[in-house]
Amino acid sequence: MPTTENTAARNAGKTGNAGKAGNTANVASAMKAPGVRVDGLTVVYRTPAGELPAVRGIDLELPAGTITGVVGESGSGKSTLALSLLNAVQPPGRISAGSVEIDGLGDVVKLSGEDLRKARGRHIGYVFQAAQNSLNPLKTVGKQLLDLGRSHEIEDLRGLVRDAKDLLGRMGMDGARVLDSHQHELSGGMRQRVGIMLALVLNAHLVVLDEPTTALDMITQANILRIVREVHAERGLTTLVITHDLGVVAEVADRLAVMYGGRLVEQGPTTDVLSAPRHPYTQGLLRAIPRLLGDIGEARALPGRPPTLGTVPARGCVFRERCALRMDVCETEEPPVVVRGPSITACHAVAAADAGVDTDTTAGTATAGADAVPDAAHPAETADAPESAGAGEPAGVQGTRGEQP
């Protein structure tokens, strides 16, 4: 299709320049979707109480060519994780441990200066949270597009403008008019789509979208998600989508990662996680979603509140304050990582269930033999949530949006 051909042509011109700069391997590998491996990632923010982790010990793989969704309540560390993929965490934050290996770029945590600046935009496209507020109010969108192209040494600026118009047109806007506009002449939803265009227009093959559709109405959101999927497939991208909205994830993501208190508590193929959630937190999130059809009263908000930087437990399970399956071991020991097929869950109760051990939550012990297992058929009761509003029904997830899990 024209957009892909144009960007490919621009990149062909670019390869020559980059080769002179000694960066040939990076550019060559950026021509296909890169795999990404996040290993032991910890990010801390400096606070009056010292440096506290917002993201801790994250292991996450983004398989090449897939869309991964990251969900979790506000403050769970989603944006901090996204910024780490670009090595863009700003003071008072810093990546204190771990690595982010991107095929063709290496460990971005080790990149700095000009290498890092070039990696962003050219190799990693991103839409920051609240992208609708991040345009320069003094310049037209077109001028900012040209600035972006020049800063990345794009030779075919006409082709860049053509691609930008094409992307904007596909997102339901008059591309020429938008490029001639200043920020204040565009609605929040239009600015958000401009942000998505800027993330895609340099033809980066790793794209990170942080809450890309929050300012959009349902119809426009559906349209944008369709385009994200189309462009992802056409260009061969690896994409990370961060959202509060399980409906968005169900719509777009191949894989799903669930964050809580800076930890990754569950991950796996989206359909598996939504239809058979294993972690009590994921089960609680799914129960909290009102159904479009049926009894809206069945939805139950997860009781309690997520921890803040200052209250997140330094050891044991970060979810234990809200977990009905909590045991003594959850207070002190890191939840074990349980692998089942392509899915991973970090939970003592899930580990005990897989080992055929009954979890006696009232006594705070685990006993062998019985079957008090958190699984999709018998989702763990998270505090007082009713079983009837249970998880395991992805159809109830699809078609809903805007809920803050």
Ligand X SMILES: Nc1ncnc2c1ncn2[C@@H]1O[C@H](COP(=O)(O)OP(=O)(O)OP(=O)(O)O)[C@@H](O)[C@H]1O
C-beta separation of 336 from 319 below 8 A: no
Nearer to ligand X, 151 or 308 (CB): 308
Interface with Mg ion, residue 214, by CB under 5 A: no
Interface with ligand X, residue 129, by CB under 6 A: yes
Nearest to 241 by CA among 405, 319, 125: 125
Out of 7, 11, 66, 79, which residue is the one contacting Mg ion (CB under 5 A)? 79
Out of 13, 29, 31, 45, which residue is the one contacting ligand X (CB under 6 A)? 45
Q: What is the smallest separation between the CB atom of 78 and ligand X, expressed in angstroms?
A: 4
Q: What is the smallest separation between the CB atom of 405 and ligand SF4, expressed in angstroms?
A: 16
Measured N-to-C along each axis, helices 141-151 and 188-200 cross at an angle, to the nearest 10 degrees, of 20
Interface with ligand X, residue 75, by CB under 6 A: yes
Q: What is the smallest separation between the CB atom of 403 and ligand X, expressed in angstroms?
A: 13
DSSP 192-219: HHHHHHHHHTT--SEEEEESTTTTS-HH
Nearer to ligand X, 77 or 277 (CB): 77
Give Cα separations from 146 to 125, 179, 263, 297 (angstroms). Answer: 16, 10, 39, 51
Nearer to ligand X, 10 or 263 (CB): 263
Interface with ligand SF4, residue 260, by CB under 6 A: no
Nearer to ligand X, 79 or 213 (CB): 79
> How far apart, in whole angstroms, are the C-alpha atoms of residue 161 and residue 157?
6
> How would you label 334-368 residue by residue, b for 16+ Cβ within 10 Å and e otherwise?
bbeebeeeebbbbbbbbbbbbeebbbebeeeebee
From the list 77-85, 118-126, 226-234, 293-301, the region that binds ligand X by CB under 6 A is: 77-85
Nearest to 60 by CA among 32, 33, 100, 21: 100
CA 350 remoteness from chain centre: 24
C-beta separation of 357 from 329 below 8 A: no
Q: What is the smallest separation between the CB atom of 34 and ligand X, expressed in angstroms?
A: 23
For residue 268, report the phi and psi dihedrals to the nearest 5 degrees: 165, -175
Q: What is the smallest separation between the CB atom of 76 and ligand X, expressed in angstroms?
A: 4
Write out the binding residues for ligand SF4, residues 294-353 only, by CB under 6 A: 317, 319-320, 323, 325-327, 330, 335, 347-349
Nearer to ligand X, 92 or 294 (CB): 92
Out of 93, 189, 212, 374, which residue is the one contacting ligand X (CB under 6 A)? 93
Which positions touch ligand SF4 (CB under 6 A)?
A: 280, 317, 319-320, 323, 325-327, 330, 335, 347-349
